[in-house]
Amino acid sequence: MENKKELRGWLNDFGLSHPLVIGGPCSAETEEQVLKIAHELKDTDATVLRAGIWKPRTRPGNFEGVGALGLKWLKRAKEETGMLISTEVANSNHVDLALEHDVDILWIGARTTVSPFIVQEIADALKGTDKIVLVKNPVNPDLPLWLGAIERLYSADIQKLGAIHRGFSTYEKTRYRNNPNWQIPIELQNRFPDLPLICDPSHIAGRRDIIFDICQTALDLNFDGLMVETHYDPDNAWSDAKQQITPSTLIQMMVDLKIRKSTDTEADYRNALNTLRTQIDVLDHQLIETLGRRMKIADGIGELKRDKNVAILQSRRWNEILGKMILEGEENNLSEEFVLKVFKAIHQESINHQKKIINA
């Protein structure tokens, strides 16, 4: 996909002085619920009302959405409040129904993004429309798969495109429902800086108490907007109750969140920033040199294990290293999550070096 300026055009057309805010319930439950939330969000910085109509659930037996009936509720909310409306589509039939009910923004969910066949089906159904289409990242941390879904839509001449970062599944237990892996959306931004990027803090968090912090991180990283699940009675929501906030909480969040400038032209700022960045560059160079020296030692260990016919993985030694490094990380204000990621990567590289020597 070429880096096309018109990708950002639809966002600029809103003429907002703040990031785009999409709010509304995880699921449309009743007409009264949809209308009540819409009226509480109108006349705020929330421009778009969201609600799930079809809910793909991990396991059967849970609430899977009210179906097409909910589109009538969204359409009425749009007529009464003037808000734009959005919902998730997972196949061509969903697309046809959404278009029939004049849904403004359609998004493709994480479970759908993983299937090029389904994405192509949706792209074909949308061909020739001028609707805004947002693509959530796939469930697993796979940037090419995410880009591929966007490119399929762009190839179908759908130019009002954007991406939604909703975090990634992981087998490791973290404080998040879906690990943010911020480096992946950052790489997406680097490759396509004119592709609007929206953060879905609700699915990243999985719990409402850290939604604000995730929103602020996203804005600090120059995200273009936020999609926040909002319910007037979140504890009794029919789906994803723990990660929804009230409309009043969202409104207060929009007041409290800080929008950063992309840069500052003052000489003092530029000079101070360049000095600090130079220090970072020096340290990064030293890090690479240190890691290179460490791997040379790992090569020596590999040669010794080869000569003595000893297994590469030594679990006790590895656990000792992790324990010590976590403690040293705490002393240096480094999170356990970060230390684990770094040293697991180092350990894997060390194993790779030793495997080459043993198998040579």
Q: What is the pLDDT of residues 220-239, one digit of tens each?
A: 998 999 999 999 999 999 99
Tens digit of each residue's pLDDT (9 = 90 or more) over 102-136? 999 999 999 999 999 999 999 999 998 999 999 99
CB 67 within 8 A of CB 55: no
CA dist 16 to 11, 96, 110, 359, Å? 8, 30, 27, 60
Q: What is the pLDDT at residue 6?
A: 54
pLDDT band of residue 63 (cuts 50, 70, 90) is confident
Q: How many CB atoms lie within 10 A of CB 226?
A: 27
Q: What is the pLDDT at residue 193?
A: 87
Q: Is 33 helix (H, G, I), strand (E, B) or coil?
A: helix
Q: What is the pLDDT at residue 3?
A: 39
Helix, strand, coil percentages, rounded to 5, for the chain: 55, 10, 35
Q: What is the pLDDT at residue 289?
A: 94
Q: What is the pLDDT at residue 7?
A: 59
DSSP structure string for 52-107 = BSS---SSTTS----TTHHHHHHHHHHHHH--EEEEE--SHHHHHHHHHTT-SEEE
Percent of the chain residues topping a pLDDT of 70: 97
H-run or E-run covering 173: none
Measured between alpha carbons, how far is 354 from 348 in angstroms, rounded to an integer? Answer: 10
Instruction: Decide if pLDDT at 8 tops 80.
Output: no
CA dist 48 to 10, 20, 77, Å? 13, 8, 11
Q: What is the pLDDT at residue 126?
A: 96
Instruction: Decide if pLDDT at 290 tops 80.
Output: yes
Percent of the chain residues topping a pLDDT of 90: 78
Q: What is the pLDDT at residue 346?
A: 95
Instruction: Decide if pLDDT at 5 tops 60.
Output: no
Q: Which residue has the tokens 């090419």?
A: 144
All domains in the chain, ordered by first residue: 5-256 (3.20.20.70), 267-358 (1.20.59.10)
Q: What is the pLDDT at residue 268?
A: 87
Instruction: Give residues with Cβ within 8 angstroms of 283, minimum separation 6.
Output: none
Q: What is the pTM for the complete model shown? A: 0.80
Q: Is 357 helix (H, G, I), strand (E, B) or coil?
A: helix
Measured between alpha carbons, how far is 118 from 133 in angstroms, rounded to an integer? Answer: 15
Counts of helices then strands in the chain (DSSP H, E) = 14, 8
